[in-house]
Amino acid sequence: MTIEIARAADVAGGEEILAPDDWYVPAAPEALTDRRVEITGPANPAKMAIDALNSGARGWLADLEDASSPTWENIVWSIRNLRDAARGTLADTSPEGRAYAHRGDIRRPIVVTRPRGWHLPEKHVLVDGVRASGSLVDFGLHVLHTARQLLANGHGPYHYLPKLESHLEARLWNDVFTFTEDHLGLPAGSIRATVLIETIPAAFEMDEILHELRDHASGLNAGGWDHLFSLIKVFRDAGPEFVVPDRASVSMSAPFMRAYAELLVKTCHRRGAAAMGGMAAFVPDRADPEVTAAAIEKVRADEQREAHDGFDGSWVAHPDLVEEAERLREEVPPDRFTTHFEPAARLIAEICLADALVDFLTLPAYELLE
């Protein structure tokens, strides 16, 4: 079944993509060795960026993609806020005159920026009369204005890469990173990337994606709900066996979603990379204790599942959830970097996992919708 599905999705692109067996990604820089809890959110407006910096999280996914409308004003202000954050000068004043800035008594998160995907153009930047890729505009402006300062701070220009569908896209990003380091005089390998595995073609190429990024690879992230959308989109005409139940009925406990998460963790830890879990997208309400309690309970369940699965960290969507997520991560430390394995047994296990990635028939009984 897996071979037929791989051909239908064209995940191999017509070439041999198996990565060599005996290799590892480079050791994580010190700033990325502990990624237990990362907060996600836009880099603009400045107040939201400051809230992320004051959240106490280990990292901040400064999002120029899903959490940010790609208007030119938004992009420019996001880059400016990221520049000021790197300099330690980011500040904001509310219409009522209240001042906001990073609090020195709170751990400062490591900033990991997510540019737009390859598919989004930027109409305000033309190259030979053609609209530039939004991903390259976001990445280029961010690195140009922050990389040296971030390195001086003991960090680096770290990024999440969204919406990849092929190891060839990872190869292109690696070329971009190498060119940028050479052009700006940055140390080789100082640009690091964590790839979101959120499309079904990429789920079949996790090893190859890490291998293509080489010295710039840091890890992979399980973007579960975008992955589910990709499954629906890719196999929309494949027949009734690929009809997925109502979205509200499908969780990460569904067998094909479990296979996806398990394969990602196994791949990362075999290669010495970080396996990052998805976002706990539950938002508390400070005015409603019941809503807050329900949100925390859902975060608790997500964090416990991911920690037991071996994920090295995960995302939260609100500063009020950071402390609870941190506490749960301390209770269930992940089993990191399992690098010794029996090749034959591993191959059989991973073939089974790959087959389960597209097995929509093995599902719990769901209530039929009229």
Encode pLDDT of 192-251 as tens digits: 999 999 999 999 999 999 999 999 999 999 988 899 899 889 988 888 888 887 777 788
Q: Which residues pair with 112 in a beta bridge?
A: 61, 158
DSSP 362: S
DSSP string, 8-44: HHTTTTTS--PPPSS--PPPPPGGGS--SEEEEEES-
Q: Which residues pair with 60 in a beta bridge?
A: 39, 111
Query: What fold is seen in the domain 2-356?
Result: TIM Barrel (3.20.20)
Q: Which residues pair with 127 in a beta bridge?
A: 130
Work out the number of other CB atoms within 10 angstroms of the CB of residue 83. 18
* pLDDT at residue 354, as a whole number: 64
Q: Which residues pair with 221 in a beta bridge?
A: 196, 276
* pLDDT at residue 368, as a whole number: 42
Please state the domain extents for the chain: 2-356
- Sign of the four-CA dihedral 333, 327, 104, 46: positive
Residue with tokens 């706990």: 280
* pLDDT at residue 353, as a whole number: 65
Reading the block at residue 48, the tokens are 């939201």
> Which among 133, 144, 226 has a CA at the least distance from the CA of 173?
133
- Does the pLDDT of residue 72 top 50, yes or no? yes
Reading the block at residue 168, the tokens are 């060839």
Average pLDDT, the chain: 87
Reading the block at residue 139, the tokens are 């990445």
Per residue in 299-355, pLDDT (tens digit) is: 888 888 898 889 999 999 989 889 988 988 887 765 554 443 444 445 445 556 666
Cis peptide before 20 (omega within 30 of 0): no
- Does the pLDDT of residue 67 top 80, yes or no? yes
Q: How far apart are CA 173 and CA 160, in angstroms?
A: 11
Name every residue whose Cβ is closer than 8 Å to that of residue 78 and which is 6 or more positions away in sequence.
42, 43, 44, 62, 64, 68
